[in-house]
A and B are shown apart, each in its own frame.
Chain A
Amino acid sequence: MTTTRKLQWAFWSLLAAFLAWDFTVSAPVNLRDEPPLIAAGSGQAVSGGHCSMAK
């Protein structure tokens, strides 16, 4: 296995561990409060985070 492949495995393992930990410790997802599949035309305001936001 090349160093690049080893690094890929290490990187993905770390990312998967982070996501698993995060899903475990975070507040449970409220599936009844699911956003619409398509925001455009849904009538619901969007509240996601974006890097252009100052607040």
Chain B
Amino acid sequence: MKRLPLAALVAAFFIFLLFFVSVRQAVLLLVGVGMGAALAGARFGFTTGWRQLIEQRDPRGVTGQAMLLALASAAALPLLGQFSELNAALGPPSVSLLVGAFVFGLTMQIADGCGSGTLYKAGLGVPLNAAILPLFALGSFLGSVHLDSWLALGQAAPVSLSAEFGTGAALGLTFAGLAIALVGVRLWVGPGRTWLERRWVWGAIALAVLATLNLVLAGQPWGVVYGFGLWAAKVSVALGLFDPAANAFWSQAGNAQRLTQTVLMDVTTITSIGILAGALWISASQSAADTQPLTLQQWAIGLVAGFVMGYSSRLAFGCNVGAMLSGISTGSLHGWIWVPLAFVGTVLGVRIRRRYGF
């Protein structure tokens, strides 16, 4: 599809949201479109950046990600301190988080895309990622259904660095944590490496601005996974396969209410649709060359990985966006626990990926 008719369709959807849902959701759609365009235009892949660091000792991707985290934190933490209406992405440190982050990091390498990566690559028309998306949604839903059992294995209350130490100290701790991570990267990659690349830098700046807009407008940080689970939950309820009243997570007032509302009122759904559209807009200017076809075994492994990735994303209280970016940038301890566990999983995932010839 050419860019002009595509822009007209997005504009039509924007107007529909404006008149039939809410002005906020309409504007958040545009924020999502910007996110999708930035992710796809800069090829800002969290999964790829980590893989390049491990396999090629190339620090450019993780430098871009560290820059994104620093910029987003510099905006989000003062805003959270200023406006009591805004919520941080606070997940509980728990066995669920440890297991979920490790498995997520592993499977995102096999599936070649985290939450946002799966979205933008599906928008670009990458066959495996497009096929994974519904399975990711199903996995995310089942993860939420089983979440109370996982939490029963052990959990602590969510920890907000801002609440514990104040905004300034939380920001200082966040910058210090990022600096330590980059020192570790420097030790791994050795001297003489190129650290900055234009596309990672502009991608980081654009995504930090858009993530901040998401926080200011919606009152909550950028997230991906919740919306996927909500879609599958609604289908399951409609098919009579699931009784939300009998489930610990979906019987909670807020979740139960969202099951009765259109998904167009859900913040994460709207930004995710925007991301898909933004990526499609980017792909519209490119020739749609077919990607290298996968073998039956690769398809099977990729799809299973996508499903498990969705499941583990709920146990981990978010993906690279919801847990890492939003968690760390809003001062949640769970984001800092998520990163090393997911990275260890990624080290294993990269090897499995290579073993099966992806």
Chain A contact residues, CB within 8 Å of chain B:
2-5, 7-8, 11-12, 15, 18-19, 22-23, 25-27, 29, 31, 34-55
Q: Is the interface of A mostly helix, strand, loop or mixed?
A: loop
Instruction: Choose among B218, B263, B326 the residue that contacts A46 (Cβ–Cβ < 8 A).
Output: B218
Report whether B267 and A48 are in contact in the complex, using a CB–CB cutoff of 8 Å.
yes
Q: Which residues of A contact B262 (CB under 8 A)?
A: 22-23, 26-27, 29
Q: Is the interface of B mostly helix, strand, loop or mixed?
A: helix
Instruction: Choose among B219, B231, B283 the residue that contacts A18 (Cβ–Cβ < 8 A).
Output: B231
Report whether A55 and B290 are in contact in the complex, using a CB–CB cutoff of 8 Å.
no
Instruction: Choose among A27, A29, A34, A46 the residue that contacts B219 (Cβ–Cβ < 8 A).
Output: A46
In the bound assembly, the distance between CA atoms of A50 and B127 in angstroms comes to 28
Report whether A37 and B20 are in contact in the complex, using a CB–CB cutoff of 8 Å.
no
Instruction: Choose among B24, B133, B283, B317 the residue that contacts A51 (Cβ–Cβ < 8 A).
Output: B317
Measured CB to CB, the closest approach of chain A to B344, in angstroms, equals: 21
Report whether B220 and A48 are in contact in the complex, using a CB–CB cutoff of 8 Å.
yes
Contacts A39-B217, A41-B85, A42-B85 given: A54-B147 contact, CB under 8 Å?
yes
Instruction: Choose among A3, A38, A43 the residue that contacts B217 (Cβ–Cβ < 8 A).
Output: A38
Q: Which residues of B contact A45 (CB under 8 A)?
A: 85
Contacts A38-B216, A40-B85 given: A49-B226 contact, CB under 8 Å?
yes
- Which of the 9-residue segments B178-186, B251-259, B350-358 touches chain A? B251-259
Most chain B C-beta atoms within 10 Å of own C-beta, residue among A7, A41, A45, A52: A52
Interface size class of B (residues with CB under 8 A): 35 or more
Report whether B268 and A51 are in contact in the complex, using a CB–CB cutoff of 8 Å.
yes
Report whether B268 and A54 are in contact in the complex, using a CB–CB cutoff of 8 Å.
no
Report whether A5 and B288 are in contact in the complex, using a CB–CB cutoff of 8 Å.
yes
Report whether A46 and B85 are in contact in the complex, using a CB–CB cutoff of 8 Å.
yes
- Which of the 9-residue segments B34-42, B48-56, B62-70, B89-97 touches chain A? B89-97
Contacts A34-B22, A37-B23 given: A50-B264 contact, CB under 8 Å?
no
Report whether B288 and A51 are in contact in the complex, using a CB–CB cutoff of 8 Å.
no
Measured CB to CB, the closest approach of chain A to B228, in angstroms, equals: 9
Question: Interface 1/0s, chain B 197-238, versus A by CB < 8 A?
Answer: 000000000000000000111111101111100110011001
Measured CB to CB, the closest approach of chain B to A3, in angstroms, equals: 5
